[in-house]
Structure 1
Amino acid sequence: MGEGGVLNSGVSAVPPLELQQQGKRKSNTYSMVSAILASTVSILLGYDTGVMSGAAIFIKEDLKMSDPQIEILVGIINICSLLGSAFAGRISDWIGRRYTIVFASVIFFAGAIFMGLAPNFGWLLVGRIVAGIGVGFALMIAPVYTAEIAPATARGFLTSFPEVFINSGVLLGYVSNIAFAGLPANLSWRLMLGVGGIPSLLLAFGILVMPESPRWLVLQGQLGKARQVLIKTCDSKEEAELRLAEIKTAVGISKNIVDDVVTVPKRNNGEGVWKELLRPTPSVRRVLIISVSLFFFAQASGIDALVLYSPRIFQQAGIKKKSDMLGATVAVGICKTMFVLVATFLVDRIGRRPLLLTSVGGVIVCLLGLASALMVVDHSEKPPMWAIVLCVAMTLLFVASFSIGFGPIPWVYGSEILPVRLRAQGVSIGVAANRLMSGLLGMTFLSLYKALTIEGTFFMFAGITAGAWMFFYASLPETRGKTLEEMEGLFSTSMFKWKKSMKKDNDVAENQN
């Protein structure tokens, strides 16, 4: 019997437990390698965000820039990433998820070259704009590809990888600040920004060994190729056939069709998707509101303001030496990276919802603590040492609390709850909200804290985050263990029904344990 006849033959007998476990180890390894390769593109944003916090000190010294010019340079990359995210969804539906990742790497490489060779503010701004477009492509496509390649049992773990690499990039950017800080000012910042192009070029070649997303292949009618990828990435061949049947149903292809190549309904090639997103059904509207809110509030908590301006914040906290400020900044990067790694192991074990609510609660407490400590420093002629230590401690705890849930979970939720036909463009809307908020904070933070005081600004972030916690508590269902094709049914129920369903699922899980 040919490959295309598997569905007609029914599901074969379940193999022995030992063979299932061997297959599971093999497939999960393949899924993990593919997810890691796809997620490494997110390191580009992290590096460019982290390195700019220290590079700005030397750029200001070398090119004699004002604070408003520094704000523009810091924030413009996130504003311009909106353009990349807006086009990335449609382009990924056209050329595929994998080649869109390659495209993102090439664009970012060009931006890094522009920045490293920039003779003045204008050319530096051009480089940041080009790099921002590449970042927008990368942020949209990495979680989409990972969610579509991952089996349901490991999807939360794998789709949190983009946040892991964003944080790893931030840390590398901070380390780059330290490594090149001893050079003359006119050379140090150029190397800090320019070396970011090297990994992007390597990524463009490394990603070519990855398989294409099976859901994108089905959208193109390439069922035979999709089956081959699913067999490699699922825990068993039987699961692969079941997943293929679910995807076919989700995109409007009959389960009974067993050809390797079929004609797909026209709307699945990306046409009409924006119309469906702008005039959504109740379930799609609810998914969009949740997805966009997660991405928006993650940035509205003030995390990127802290990452981008951590040397300034530590200076306001009473740390005066440049080496001490950069050292404390590296500690922030280490803390973020460590705790987002912890989150990858917890998201599939304790679930998205409890991890997110705990994380957001911790962020609120830390923001209040940081604001209070900064208020003591700001109103003291000679800041007490305990207040300075508390500022640093609350900053580290803030990034730890954020990274353990608030950072990675929007990418997990956003990439898994949207229907397959809307996923690429739908995620691009959430990413656009995330980058817009990040860009606005980056371009206004210095002016904001001068107007509200540094402590007033962080009290404001705490209030916004408290509102986010209440919204998440009222509106987010648990999606752990659900297949991507089950999500639409989950969100088509009312809030009260999914809460009852969630309680029932939790009771069943407790009984099994």
Structure 2
Amino acid sequence: MAQGSAAEAVEAPLLSSSPATVPAAPRRNTFSFVCAMLASMTTILMGYNLALMSGAELFMREDLGLTDEQVEVLSGSMNVFMLASILAAGWAADLAGRRATLVLANAFLTAGALAMSLGGGFIALTAARFVTSLGAGFAVVATSPTTPSPGYLSTSAGAPCSPPASLPPRSSPPACSSPRWLAMSGRDGEAVAVLARTSDTPAEAGDRLEEIIHAKATGTDLGSSSSPITRRIFTNVLALQFFHQASGIDAIVLYSPLVFQKSGMSSNTLVLGATVAVGIIKTCSIFVATLLSDRVGRRPLLLASTAGVAGRPAWPLTLTSLAATLSTFTTPTTLTMAACFASVLSYVAAFSVGLGPLTQAYSAEILPLRMRARGAGLGTAVNRLTCGVLSMTFISLANSVGMAGCFFLYAGLMLLACVFVYVRLPETRGRSLEDMDVLFSS
């Protein structure tokens, strides 16, 4: 399909239904939003399977007699197991599309969850975690975002109309693949249909299609992995993915019961309640990021988040205060418990309003069109590898240098992350994938 005819096909409804002098009012794109939320069920399943160890470890130690080393393996090995499917997911998404990759991801996630419910020992649970990790690896790459910004947080826009595979396909809304993947595959007509349904106006859909077709036809410098612009983008993606996990977020999520016990909480009920509160604060903060991302911008949120996680004066109750509390008060008291609990909640909130949700969104926004899936796979591999190293060594490191030492280390890394964001990451709000070469060439 020619570039002009494709754009005309998208804008035809606008011309035929409205007077030429009266532009159509932007409509709320409920179709794109609902599909993005449905696809986000994949990442919910993935996050559940990654984080369920946090509360479960309290009871697995007692019921199954697991050692610290076995708890570390069960908590962190999934991130290492994921590497195989993460690296394969980019190839699968380019070959079969993100919709098919999401279906495969959910099949593994469902099978792994069922296997874990039946596991009665360390070996069985490890095998079940391996199956789950295959699905999590496919999911985290296949759900990297490319839809309009309202749906970015679900990390589902790579396949903006893909239903969760845990639901029967015929009971789900109409499914479609990424318009960019369709256009790159020579299926311009289907790309037009997807863009018409996922854009706020037909004119916006026409503009987006023109950009995609132009990038496909001309093949800018971003199409070459050896170009300076591409190397800069990939370096930024890999560094951002590293800092995302170097914040120690998974140490908090997976081992928050140990942190709270260290502060003096002795009751399992109290520890579990505090752990649940962490999850609630994390979720609420992500909704804040959803509201602010397109109003404030990605860069300000990333700067505020990295500085806040480190514990700067504007947001003092985070990693630095947590480490200081654990190192200063050797005898647990009510004050110690309260200070530790407040620091953990503040840290999780700071992480979740910027660095948490925006790492994947920002990475997907800047990666070159022709290498997006593979680039996302490589970036996610760095993310998961960093997470695996930290989560599989946290208990051992805490026994060696103290739990406070672990959090002082993470705070220092977040100061470096703040400098990195300030120096290397430009604002991408309002930019399309096709004009990233202009942004990163300046």
Aligned partner letter, 2:392? M
| Residue equivalent to 1:247 | 212
Number of the residue aligned with 1:309: 255
Distance 1:11 1:341, change over 3 A: closer
Structure 1 residues 119-268: aligned runs within 5 Å: 119-143=120-144, 146-147=145-146, 150-151=147-148, 155=149, 157-162=150-155, 201-202=166-167, 209-252=174-217
- Residue 436 (1) aligns with residue 385 (2): yes
Mapped contact 2:264–2:333 kept (Cα < 8 A): no
**Structure 2 CA distance for aligned equivalents of residues 84 and 463 of structure 1:** 32
CA contact (8 A) 2:11 2:202 kept: no
Is residue 32 from structure 1 mapped to residue 36 from structure 2 by the alignment? Answer: no
Superposition pairs for residues 417-428 of structure 1, below 5 Å? Answer: 417-428=366-377
**2: CA distance, partners of 1:75 / 1:10:** 47
**Partner amino acid for 1:281?**
S
Structure 1 Cα separation of the partners of residues 373 and 183 of structure 2: 14
Q: Secondary structure at the match of 1:119?
A: coil
Residue 244 to residue 162, structure 1, CA distance change in 2 (3 Å): closer
- Across the two proteins, how many residue pairs are aligned to each other? 422
Which residue matches 1:175? none
Residues 108, 131 of structure 2: 8 Å contact kept:
yes
- Are the equivalent residues in 2 in contact too, given 1:214–1:225 (CA < 8 A)? yes
Of 291, 307, 315, 1:361 maps to 307
- Matches of 1:492 and 1:3, distance apart in 2: 26
Question: Is structure 2 residue 290 aligned with structure 1 residue 344?
Answer: yes
Q: How does 1:435-454 map to 2 (within 5 A)?
A: 435-454=384-403
* CA-CA distance at 1:24 after TM superposition: 2.5
Give the structure 2 partner of residue 489 of structure 1.
Answer: 438
Query: Which of these residues, 272, 275, 287, is aligned with residue 326 of structure 1?
Result: 272
Cα distance in 1 for partners of 2:227, 2:60 equals 49
CA positional deviation for 1:204: 6.5
Whole-angstrom distance in 2 between the partners of 1:18 and 1:324: 61
The residue aligned with 1:474 is 423
Letter in 1 for 2:370: R
Instruction: Measure how far apart 1:207 and its partner are.
Output: 6.1
* Residues 4-43 of structure 1: pairs in structure 2 closer than 5 A: 5=5, 7=7, 15=18, 20-21=24-25, 23-25=26-28, 28-43=29-44
Separation in 1 of the partners of 2:75 and 2:58? 12
Q: Decide whether the 8 Å contact of 2:75 with 2:392 is kept in 1.
A: yes
Q: Deviations over 1:415-447 (max 9, x none)?
A: 110111110110111111111111111111000
Maintained 8 Å contact 2:10/2:202: no
- Partners of 1:220 and 1:5 in 2: how far apart? 18
Distance (whole Å) between structure 2 residues aligned to residue 204 and residue 463 of structure 1: 47
Q: Which residue of 1 aligns with 2:322?
A: 370
Question: Which residue of structure 1 lines up, in the alignment, with residue 350 of structure 2?
Answer: 401
State the AA in 2 paired with 1:302: G
| Match of residue 117 from structure 2 | 116
Q: 2-side partners of 1:81 and 1:64: how far apart? A: 26
Q: Is the 8 A contact 1:294 1:410 kept in 2?
A: yes
Looking at structure 1, the residues matched to 11 and 122 of structure 2 have their Cα atoms a distance apart, in angstroms, of: 64
Corresponding residue number in structure 1 for 2:161: none
Contact 1:20-1:235 within 8 A present in 2 as well: no
In the alignment, which residue of structure 2 is the partner of 1:264? Answer: none
Cα distance in 1 between the residues matched to 2:10 and 2:197 = 20
SS at match of 2:143: helix
The structure 1 residue matched to 2:230, chosen from 284, 289, 294, is 284
Q: 1:238 Cα shift?
A: 2.5
CA change 1:349–1:8 in 2 (3 A) is closer
Distance in 2 of aligned mates of 1:410 and 1:459: 22
Residue deviations 1:326-371 (CA, integer Å, cap 9, x gap): 0000000000000001101101001000111011111111110111
Q: 1:486 to 1:291 in 2, by over 3 A?
A: same
Alignment of 1:58-73 (within 5 A): 58-73=59-74
Runs (4+) of structure 1 exceeding 4 A deviation are: 6-19, 203-208
In 2, Cα distance between equivalents of 1:204 and 1:390: 48
2: CA distance between counterparts of 1:207 and 1:324?
A: 40
The residue type paired with residue 192 of structure 2 is: R
Per-residue CA shift, 1:363-420, capped at 9, x if unaligned? 111110111111123x22xx23222211000000000000000101111111110111
The residue type equivalent to 1:226 in the other structure is A
C-alpha distance in 2, partners of 1:292/1:123?
34
Displacement after TM superposition at 1:208 (Å): 6.6
Moved more, 6-15 or 69-78: 6-15
Residue 339 of structure 2, aligned match among 387, 390, 399: 390
Q: CA RMSD in A?
A: 2.5
Identical columns (%): 42
Structure 1 match to 2:104:
103
CA 1:82/1:203 → structure 2, altered by over 3 Å: closer, same or farther? Answer: farther
User: Structure 1 stretches of 5 or more lacking a match?
Assistant: 164-198, 255-267, 494-513
Structure with the largest fraction of helix: 1
Q: Assess, with a 3 A threshold, how the Cα gap between structure 1 residues 469 and 6 changes in structure 2: closer, same or farther.
A: closer
* Letter paired with 2:24: Q
Q: CA distance change for structure 1 residues 489 and 57 in 2, over 3 Å: closer, same or farther?
A: same
Q: Which residue of 1 aligns with 2:160?
A: none
Quickly say closer, same or farther: Cα 1:328–1:291, change in 2 above 3 A.
same
Question: TM-score by structure 1 length?
Answer: 0.78
Cα separation, 2, equivalents of 1:9 and 1:76? 50
AA aligned to 1:127 is A
Mind listing any 5+ residue stretches in structure 2 that lack a counterpart? 157-163, 312-317
Is the 8 Å Cα contact of residues 105 and 134 (structure 1) preserved in structure 2?
yes
Offset at 1:63? 2.3
User: How many angstroms apart in 1 are the aligned matches of 2:168 and 2:234?
Assistant: 31
1:10, distance to aligned residue in structure 2 (A) = 11
1:77-96 Cα distance to aligned partner (Å, 9 max, x none): 11111111100000011111
Q: Which whole-Å CA distance do the structure 1 matches of 2:130 and 2:22 have between them? A: 53
